[in-house]
Amino acid sequence: MSNFRVLSASQLTTYATCTQQWAYRYAEKAPEESRSGALVLGSAVDVALKTLVHQVRSGEATVGTVKPKELLHEAWGAETSSKPEVPIDWGEKGAPANLRTAEALVEAFARLPDLEQRIARIVSVDLRFELPVLDPRTEQPAPGLGVQGILDFVERDADGKLRALDLKTAGSRAGWSPDDTRWHVQGSVYAWALKELHGDAAAEDVAFHIGFKLKEPVWEDRVVNLPAAARRRVLLSLIAASQSMDRATPFPQKSWACAGCAYSRRCDDWQSTPGVVLRRDPFAA
């Protein structure tokens, strides 16, 4: 068994939200009971938009000739069929309505008036990183701990600095105010990682391009300045979470996240099942 653990921003967020969900997903690697339709939609839109950007950057298509709806349908088919044994929970609206929303989001992105300029600023797509977690108190690597992630895009900001640009889909604008995003976990990890990779050439902030699933879907930008305190906080959170994972006994924490949890039925009966065996795993993320 390896003594090295690799975390991610999503794993840290899951652990903070519900240790039992984290244990099922990351420690036990239990099969999902269902998949969230919102996550399936978000993944399909993500793939379609990255394909669109790639086609324009490579010269395969132009902003005027790219076919966003076709790209979405290809991504949708791949995403919905990727785990045929796991049912998708589409919610009250059902699959057709979710597909129409996804189509509208991709088409709205393709109609952005400055799309060509946005794509020209992108220097990297799906940038993967894996780095040792530095303890900000000592500036030394935390023993046996790393962090990894995939940046949707890296773009150049107005000052020529490298900045993480992340695609998101959301049901409403709630949670996207400056106060809500000042300590954004994923954003803090990404900003810190770019600083580690590129030093002063990297920006202090991170950008989000958010597709809001409103009656008329719309894309909006949020540029979040993440102070050094936010980067310090997320590094210490990764260290504290890793230490807690070794010592703590998982248990369910009821919250808004329960509605889309992939382990709802099993969670209802968690008292009657054997406890999850926690283990360090270099591929945990």
For 156-181, the pLDDT digits (tens) are 999 999 999 999 999 999 999 988 88
pLDDT attached to residue 285: 45
Give 1's Cβ-side CA count (13 Å radius): 8
Backbone angles phi and psi of 225, in degrees to 5 = -80, 115
Mean pLDDT for all residues in the chain: 92
For 56-91, the pLDDT digits (tens) are 999 999 999 999 999 999 999 999 999 999 999 999
pLDDT, mean of residues 193-205 = 95
What share of the chain has pLDDT > 70, as a percent? 94
CATH classification for the domain delimited by 123-237, as one of 3.90.320.10, 3.40.50.150, 1.10.10.10, 3.40.50.300: 3.90.320.10
For 22-52, the pLDDT digits (tens) are 999 999 899 999 999 999 999 999 999 999 9
Q: Break the chain into its structural domains and give their ranges.
A: 123-237
What share of the chain has pLDDT > 90, as a percent? 79
pTM here is: 0.90
Closest-CA residue to 103 (of 63, 64, 60, 71): 71
End-to-end CA distance of the chain, in Å?
A: 16
pLDDT attached to residue 155: 98
